[in-house]
Amino acid sequence: MKVKSSSKKVNKAWLNDHVNDPWVKLAQKEGYRARAAYKLKEIDESLHLIRPNSLVVDLGSAPGAWSQYVQRKLSAGRHQEGAQVGAIIALDLLAMEPIEGVQFIQGDLREDAVLKKLELALGGRPADLVISDMAPNLSGIASVDGARVEHLIELAVDFCRAHLKPEGALVAKVFHGSGYDGLVRLFRESFMTVKVLKPKASRDRSAETFLIGIHLKPPG
């Protein structure tokens, strides 16, 4: 009974924080599906990653806030004289409500058949930007969770090596803890420039941070 009571207190505290969260309120006001949109917005405004005619791949896209932000940014760019239309391909294990201008694939990136679908959607065109909000179901066991996170980020980096423009970028959510230093090394081995950012929209107590790799290093 004590555990149940404690769990209720935690859930009530989380719900209270969520309801009163200014980023949640802003997301509701501006029509974003989640506060996460403002994390990507701050990263993009800091590093200018999304440009007109960009092809963006959104890994771990549900519920769709990052795709929404990218779609709005690309739509705004269309008003520039001579600007071409960009494209967004989103993928998630979970279902996602449709977003105009976003091609969604439901499936697990770890499966070859799903990766093939994603590659077909690219149509031979390399991506300008890959954004990854992928995260595993956490077990609470640090070593296990760290390995799961690390595997997902390795998949994102491998995807970039195969399908990202040389001057392109990868934005990936990671967590401080077991495996974090290894992921930083992986980014430094893979990209010319590596940035670490924790946007204001990330909760202070959250262990999440974001690694941004810009300009792939040549193989070998």
- Which residue in the list 39, 41, 73, 173 is annotated as catalytic? 173
Q: Between helices 65-77 and 37-47, what is the axis angle to 10°?
A: 40
| Token duo for residue 66 | 């990052």
Residues 6+ apart with CB under 8 A from 101: 71, 74, 75, 87, 88
pTM of structure = 0.88
Beta bridge partners of 127: 164
165 is catalytic: no
pLDDT (0 to 100) of residue 171: 98
Where is average pLDDT lowest: 135-144, 175-184, 187-196, 211-220?
Answer: 135-144
pLDDT tops 50 at residue 9:
no
d(C-alpha 66, C-alpha 38), whole Å: 9
Mean pLDDT of 128-146: 84
Quick check: helix, strand or coil at residue 116?
A: helix
**Nearest 5°: CA angle at 59, between 94 and 113?**
70
Using the predicted structure, report yes or no on whether residue 115 has a pLDDT greater than 90: yes
**Which one-letter amino acid corresponds to residue 125?**
R
Residue 2 pLDDT > 50, yes or no? no
Is 69:32 a contact under the CB 8 Å cutoff? yes
